[in-house]
Amino acid sequence: MSTATKKTGTLQQVLQQHAHTAQTDYNARVLAKLQVCRTSALGYHLYKCKDDGCDTYKYQYHSCRNRHCPQCGALQRIQWVEDRQRELLPVPYYHIVFTLPHELNSIIMGNRKNCYNLLFKAASSTLLQFGKDQKYLGAQLGILAVLHTWGQQLSFHPHLHCIVSDGGVATKKNMEKDKCIYWKNTRRDSGNFLFPVKAMSVVYRAIFLKGLKKAIAKKEINLNEAQQKEVKQLLENLYYKPWVVYAKKPFGGPQQVVQYLAAYTHKVAISNNRILSIENGNVSFKWKDYRHENAPKQMSLTASEFLRRFEQHILPKGFTKIRSYGYLANRGRETNLAAITKELKLPAHPPKVKQPWQILLQEAFNIVHNQCPCCKKNTLVLIKQVYGNIEHIDSS
């Protein structure tokens, strides 16, 4: 096997081996965290085996816990997926992707937070509007939306993945003339589409462009001199260009939704297992060509270009990349789900339980946190914690 096909590098090694200049101070801090993740720079927990005759020491270096780090977040992802699994109903779910035209990339780059928020608003409003239409459903959908900003080649490609319930919640009056909720199934001509894709595309385009024009008028969108001259014509052109709304094959059921969530909701722009080599100032990585039936291919970039592309996908500070709408909206979610399960005569959803990290670690990766690497007994005890230059001795 040639060197080009061997996995010999990680994102962290690219950062450690090659100088890079970040576009913003915040991005610089993110990249700095990724560079020192699980190294002595962040401190460590020191364990010692208490078994007589062993006395092995084990250093557990701290993670950076940054959401852009390919080494971090595994246990948080598992807990999040378990929480979402509690909320799924035994109904089909659809997968719909809303994309933005590449002509908007330069404006989005300089106004990520506002434009990403507008993308969420336009996509969710479109789905909820079609859901309320009696022609299709006449009820409130359940929507989970996840922002991705990258293509397989690390190009800038903002798009929203939406998981949408096949059916929704409506209200009616009972015999006592009190309002109560009930479940309605969608009416559609084909099992492959929740709503007409072309019709959704028109509504989605109109909502986004209206919001963008309003934000520009209020000067909430920053434009350079060249963009100010061209923006009026650009928006007019985009009104006549078809926007891509892609309806993927529907999920078979809740289990497939969980598998999707586990694999994609907490993804970063590139995982370490895609990086093939770091040599001679270049980074080679594998990617899938979706236009040719996911054919596996390889790409080589200079380290500086690789890091520039990766940095494009650092989200604004504090930005929420996973959002829920309809009956799954944060406000009223528990009440809605309790009423739905009761109306459908389903068992009540179990209460939310936060699993201890030790249990998640063992269940997910078969790793026992206190197992000695030498004698294999569960006899490791914590004796010291170091955070940067601050040291804590465990006296228990």
Q: Tokens in use for 160? A: 């929203």
H or E stretch covering 127:
helix 112-132
- The percentage of the chain sitting over the pLDDT mark of 70, rounded to a whole number, equals 93
Q: Residue 52's pLDDT is what? A: 87
Round to whole Å and give the CA distance between 342 and 348: 7
β-bridge mates for residue 49, sequence order: 380
> Cα–chain-centroid distance for residue 239?
29
* Nearest in space to 205 (alpha carbons), one of 240, 254, 230: 240
pTM across the whole model:
0.89
The number of residues making up the chain comes to 396
Residue 367's SS3 state is coil
pLDDT score at 283 = 96
Domain residue ranges of the chain, discontinuous segments joined by +:
3-67+369-393, 74-267+321-343
Calpha distance 387→379 (Å, rounded):
24
pLDDT per residue as tens digits for the range 92-130: 899 999 999 999 999 999 999 999 999 999 999 999 999
More confident residue, 326 or 91: 326
Element (H, E) at 282: strand 282-289
pLDDT of 367 strictly over 50 = yes
What local confidence, expressed as pLDDT, does residue 290 receive? 81
